[in-house]
Amino acid sequence: MNNEIFIEVLGWVLASYLIGGIPFGYIIGKLRGVDVRAVGSKNIGATNVFRTVGKKWGILAFFFDVMKGLLPVLAAKYLAGDDAWRHLPLVTGVASVLGHTLTPYMKFKGGKGVATAFGMLLGLIPALVGVTFAVFVFFFAVSNFISLGSCSAALFLSIAVWFKWLGCEGVANLPQAILVSLIAIFVIIKHRSNIVRLVKGEENKIYFFKK
């Protein structure tokens, strides 16, 4: 990689990280008079906004968090110069997810990264993401635990990405397989407190529709 391409990649990564770091959940909560860092799970992600601010506001936060991961990937795929590094979309997506989980605007404390990782992967491997989303929906539907759905989907993805199917190159694209797996594992690690509560039977359920 020559110096020009390195500088271009560095610029894309930094921009994606800063975009990913925009705390939309926190912003939406504050606009509604709620500091999501002080209520519920005290997380700035869409799930806590859904639980503490309202369903439509949680859905809005989820949409924005997905866009933080999707748009940098699409921009890198279609707007980068012809000489850009071929792994640029993947790297910018990872930077967006890290921005969300370690946001520089809030002392590097952020969300769990599920929605932003979903957006990143939607831009990279949409067919496989569709199956992964179905895994999430299944486990969420049968349990009403978003954390269980998220961790199950992340675990599935961390394995599935190594195989060549549904638009994924598997080991033929080793950097993609490694980075996507690391992101999926990172998402599970960010849910460690939820996992402890699940084991203890203390995790809060989320009902998308009224019981």
For residue 72, being part of any structural domain is answered with yes
* Same domain, yes or no: 141 and 170: yes
Count up the domains in the chain and report the number. 2
Q: Is the overall model pTM greater than 0.75, yes or no?
A: yes
> Roughly what angle, to the nearest 10 degrees, separates helices 174-190 and 88-101?
10
For residue 117, being part of any structural domain is answered with no
Which range of residues forms the domain containing residue 197? 125-211
Residue 125 CB-density burial (10 A; 0-12 exposed, 13-18 middle, 19+ buried): buried
* Token output for 48: 């806590």
* Same domain, yes or no: 138 and 60: no
Q: What is the pLDDT of residue 1?
A: 59
Domain boundary residue among 90, 112, 134?
112
* Same domain, yes or no: 132 and 200: yes
For residue 197, being part of any structural domain is answered with yes
Q: What is the pLDDT of residue 210?
A: 59
For residue 157, being part of any structural domain is answered with yes
Q: What is the pLDDT of residue 67?
A: 97
* Same domain, yes or no: 145 and 90: no
Confirm if 19 and 37 have CB atoms less than 8 A apart: no
Instruction: Please indicate whether residue 82 or residue 6 has the higher confidence score (pLDDT).
Output: 6
* Same domain, yes or no: 94 and 137: no
d(CA 167, CA 193): 33
Q: How do residues 122-168 score in pLDDT, each as one tens digit? A: 999 999 999 999 999 999 999 999 899 999 999 999 999 999 888 88
Confirm if 188 and 155 have CB atoms less than 8 A apart: yes
d(CA 142, CA 176): 31
Residue 7 CB-density burial (10 A; 0-12 exposed, 13-18 middle, 19+ buried): exposed
* Same domain, yes or no: 105 and 130: no
Instruction: Please indicate whether residue 1 or residue 7 has the higher confidence score (pLDDT).
Output: 7
* Same domain, yes or no: 182 and 142: yes
Domain boundary residue among 82, 112, 142?
112
Q: How do residues 45-88 score in pLDDT, each as one tens digit? A: 998 999 899 999 999 999 999 999 999 999 998 877 655 677 88
Confirm if 90 and 38 have CB atoms less than 8 A apart: no
Q: What is the pLDDT of residue 167?
A: 82
Confidence of residue 9 (pLDDT cuts 50, 70, 90): confident
* Same domain, yes or no: 34 and 13: yes
